[in-house]
């Protein structure tokens, strides 16, 4: 069953501002009623929020040559919940329209590395990267704070103004305990739930022969075949005049507090590992009060279909996303910002 609703949120906190939640269910199909794809931008005028002109088409594209003038945008987020009063019931899919204040929103790019020990992971990042770049350019032009977080790659960016900018952010007065550490589970019972995929083999789904050739190639390149990454993939533009580069949870927190960031969008890889667990990942952001959303079409898992539950790699990713929507945070689509169709991997034919 799928429910839809409208939750108008305050521009910063993501908490209900008025109206509450209204659900609609199609009793015949069990699916949500479709609505015209649109994004409504609100201009700030004299401290008041007022509609400015007509609705902007969902196909609208911002360019670097356009000076952004919008204070908020509206997106639809998705999560899963049990309906009130029936804790033993199955989870239902819920869709909510929310407004995010651009100036209080950050995009974090998690571990979109140049190389990986798993060949198929490299191939899929090659597919993802242009779409992540497009989203990043769009959000940057609108005024969203961009934080590039390629873990273990800070030596490559030594002296880069975006790296220096991240280190220079003043230490926040409210740095959470353990924000600099990996977070394995959300408080409140996530660990006790059935994790949807078995990743105990590391999750690499490459053909064994091709993987062996790839490993030898990494060695011949002078790379550590188990951890060959040294930088973020070059297909994603870093604006050294305004972006931030860091893999440090405390630095990420300092940046967000310095800029008054309450909303976090997170893209990158891998969903079941770094995206969830890093010091700047979904769990740490959610447990420390940020209004965090996974961009669910711009992510990928480390999952091998030879392991339980023996589904396709892409179905494994979908199951992790559903787990996140139940126990960690809501998700959104990149197309909710840039328009067009959501990204889909070439091999995902389901």
pLDDT at site 48:
31
Say if 335 falls within a structural domain: no
pLDDT at site 113:
98
- Domain holding 94, by residue range, is 2-102
User: Are 138 and 30 part of one and the same domain?
Assistant: no
User: Are 93 and 138 part of one and the same domain?
Assistant: no
Q: What pLDDT, in 10s, does the model give residues 169-213?
A: 999 999 999 999 999 998 877 887 878 999 999 999 999 999 999
User: Are 132 and 98 part of one and the same domain?
Assistant: no
Paired sense of beta strands 92-101 and 2-6, if any: parallel
User: Are 111 and 210 part of one and the same domain?
Assistant: yes
User: Are 202 and 321 part of one and the same domain?
Assistant: yes
C-alpha torsion 79→85→86→90, nearest 10? -10
pLDDT at site 187:
86
CATH number, domain of 241, equals 3.40.50.850
Q: What pLDDT, in 10s, does the model give residues 240-259?
A: 999 999 999 999 999 999 99
pLDDT at site 89:
75
71 touches 144 (CB < 8 A) = no
Those residues of the chain that have pLDDT short of 70 are: 1-70, 87-88
| CA distance readout (Å), 301 to 150, 316, 344 | 16, 7, 14
pLDDT at site 134:
98
Domain finish residue from 61, 78, 102 = 102
Say if 348 falls within a structural domain: no
pLDDT at site 193:
83
User: Are 147 and 92 part of one and the same domain?
Assistant: no
Say if 342 falls within a structural domain: no
User: Are 128 and 70 part of one and the same domain?
Assistant: no
User: Are 143 and 24 part of one and the same domain?
Assistant: no
Say if 338 falls within a structural domain: no
pLDDT at site 38:
36
User: Are 11 and 51 part of one and the same domain?
Assistant: yes
How far is Cα 109 from Cα 120, in angstroms, rounded to an integer?
20
pLDDT at site 188:
79
User: Are 43 and 160 part of one and the same domain?
Assistant: no
User: Are 170 and 51 part of one and the same domain?
Assistant: no
pLDDT at site 61:
32
């Amino acid at each position: 069953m799928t429910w839809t609703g409208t939750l108008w949120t305050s521009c910063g906190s993501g908490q209900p501002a008025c109206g509450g939640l209204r659900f609609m269910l199609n009793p015949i199909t069990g699916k949500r009623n479709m609505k015209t794809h649109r994004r409504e931008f609100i201009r700030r005028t004299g401290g008041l929020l007022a509609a400015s002109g007509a609705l902007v088409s969902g196909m609208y594209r911002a360019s670097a040559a356009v000076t952004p003038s919008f204070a908020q945008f509206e997106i639809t987020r998705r999560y899963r919940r049990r309906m009130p009063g029936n804790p033993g019931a199955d989870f239902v899919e819920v869709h909510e329209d929310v407004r995010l204040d651009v100036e209080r929103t950050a995009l974090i790019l998690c571990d979109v590395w140049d190389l990986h020990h798993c060949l198929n992971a490299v191939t899929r990042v090659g597919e993802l990267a242009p779409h992540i770049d497009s989203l990043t350019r769009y959000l940057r032009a609108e005024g969203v704070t961009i934080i590039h977080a390629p873990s273990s790659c800070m030596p490559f960016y030594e002296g880069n103004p975006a790296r220096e900018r991240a280190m220079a952010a003043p230490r926040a007065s409210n740095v959470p305990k353990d924000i600099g550490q990996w977070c394995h589970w959300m408080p409140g019972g996530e660990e006790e739930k059935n994790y949807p995929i078995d990743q105990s083999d590391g999750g690499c789904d490459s053909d064994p022969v091709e993987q062996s050739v790839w490993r030898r190639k990494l060695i011949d390149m002078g790379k550590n075949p188990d951890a060959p990454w040294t930088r973020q993939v070059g297909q994603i533009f870093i604006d050294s005049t305004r972006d931030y580069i860091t893999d440090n949870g405390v630095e990420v927190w300092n940046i967000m507090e310095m800029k008054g960031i309450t909303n976090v969008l997170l893209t990158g890889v891998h969903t079941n590992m770094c995206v969830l667990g890093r010091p700047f990942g979904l769990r740490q952001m959610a447990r420390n009060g940020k209004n965090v959303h996974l961009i669910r079409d711009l992510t990928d898992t480390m999952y091998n279909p030879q392991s339980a539950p023996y589904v396709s790699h892409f179905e494994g990713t979908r199951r992790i996303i559903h787990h996140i929507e139940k126990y960690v945070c809501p998700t959104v689509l990149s197309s909710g910002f840039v328009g067009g169709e959501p990204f889909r991997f070439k091999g995902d034919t389901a």
